[in-house]
């Protein structure tokens, strides 16, 4: 039990990073009612963009991250315009959009694999002594991960609740037809949602890359964890996505330590086990609405 505080701290760090990716899924689903499985690949591209600009172009890491966020936002909007909007215009079945999202994800992953290779990459940060708080040891990068995640979540909350564009997003999510009658252009709002989701994904991918390593397969892992956390908390619920991410991070670390002897290869298995157990008793997720239990 001496390791419990450290495991909880590790779970909070992981959950804070997962939450940014999960929020992107929740925002897109709240409006379009389909999971954007390319979100994890956008997170991976954002991480590589930050890495290349920081380590190879010599940019300040903050500037590199900001540019990565902007480029990822453009990629997210472009992805919607090219892959999803034509299907919406034809009122294609949701399963067609889902398959398109998976195809887009595989395409983006393949492009990064061709450009960057299959080997792992690490951010070239100088070695800095971590901080010890009692029995908890936390690295400066992990502190940055938590702080950045919390700041972005608070900024998103302010945007959605106190700004005109945020109210427009909530209006289209609640009732697209009524929003259109009141003069809102739903396609413009959807573009903003994809841009915001891609920005958060880029930050999530960069933070995960800073804390671990970069690889062309990290997008798939982010997709699994982000979508699982979104389902766990409740599809379409931003607060649910955050709560599901924290539970996911805790479940991975506690499960691996107490039930798998510290073997990190079991992390995803424990995360999905928690999700399945909760969904057995609450199919819509912890904070989800009953009508959201069906994806199609």
pLDDT in tens, 163-215: 999 999 998 888 887 888 888 888 999 999 999 999 999 999 999 999 889 99
Cα separation, 233 vs 244, whole angstroms: 4
Beta bridge pairs of residue 133: 136
pLDDT digits (tens, 9 = 90+) for 25-57: 899 888 888 889 899 999 999 999 999 999 999
Which tens digits make up the pLDDT trace of 212-270? Answer: 899 998 998 898 888 888 888 888 889 999 999 998 888 888 888 887 777 777 777 77
pLDDT recorded at residue 182? 80
Annotate 117-134 with b (16+ C-beta within 10 A) or e (fewer). eeeebebeeeeeeeeeee
User: What does the block give as tokens for 70?
Assistant: 């902007």
Domain ranges of the chain: 4-293
Give the span between the Cα atoms of 48 and 63, in whole angstroms.
14
**Terminus-to-terminus CA distance in the chain, angstroms?**
44
Which CATH class, in words, describes the domain spanning 4-293?
mainly alpha
Give kind and range of the element (H or E) at residue 292: none
**CA 230 remoteness from chain centre:** 9
Q: Share the mean pLDDT of the chain.
A: 88
Backbone angles phi, psi at 136, to 5 degrees: -100, 130
The answer for residues whose C-beta is within 8 angstroms of residue 96's C-beta and 6 or more apart is 87
56-72 pLDDT, tens digit each: 999 999 999 999 999 99
Distance of alpha carbon 246 from alpha carbon 21, whole angstroms: 12
Rounded to whole angstroms, what are the CA distances from 60 to 56, 120, 201?
Answer: 11, 22, 20
List b or e across 36-47, with b for residues whose CB sees 16 or more CB atoms inside 10 angstroms: bbbbbbbbbbbb
Structure tokens at 205: 């991918």
Q: Annotate 102-114 with b (16+ C-beta within 10 A) or e (fewer).
A: eebbeebbeebee
């Amino acid at each position: 039990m001496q390791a419990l505080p450290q495991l909880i701290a590790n779970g909070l760090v992981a959950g804070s990073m997962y939450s940014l990716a999960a929020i992107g899924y929740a925002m897109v689903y709240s409006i379009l009612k389909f999971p954007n499985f390319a979100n994890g690949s956008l997170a991976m591209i954002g991480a590589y963009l930050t890495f290349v600009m920081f380590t190879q172009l010599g940019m300040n890491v903050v500037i590199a991250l900001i540019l990565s966020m902007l480029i990822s936002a453009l990629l997210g909007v472009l992805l919607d315009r090219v892959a999803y909007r034509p299907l919406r215009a034809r009122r294609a079945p949701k399963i067609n959009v889902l398959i398109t999202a998976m195809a887009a994800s595989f395409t983006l992953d393949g492009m990064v694999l061709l450009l960057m290779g299959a080997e792992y990459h690490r951010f070239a940060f100088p070695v800095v002594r971590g901080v010890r708080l009692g029995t908890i040891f936390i690295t400066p990068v992990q502190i940055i991960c938590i702080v950045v995640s919390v700041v972005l979540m608070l900024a998103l909350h302010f945007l959605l609740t106190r700004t005109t564009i945020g109210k427009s997003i909530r209006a289209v999510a609640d009732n697209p037809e009524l929003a259109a009658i009141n003069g809102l252009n739903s396609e413009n709002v959807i573009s903003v949602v994809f841009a915001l989701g891609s920005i958060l994904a880029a930050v999530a991918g960069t933070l995960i890359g800073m804390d671990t390593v970069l690889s062309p397969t990290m997008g798939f892992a982010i997709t699994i964890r982000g979508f699982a956390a979104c389902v766990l908390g409740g599809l379409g619920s931003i607060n649910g996505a955050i709560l599901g991410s924290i539970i996911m991070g805790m479940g991975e670390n506690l499960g691996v330590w107490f039930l798998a002897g510290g073997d990190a290869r079991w992390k995803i298995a424990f995360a999905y086990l928690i999700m399945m157990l909760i969904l057995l008793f609450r199919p819509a997720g912890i904070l989800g609405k009953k009508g959201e239990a069906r994806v199609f």
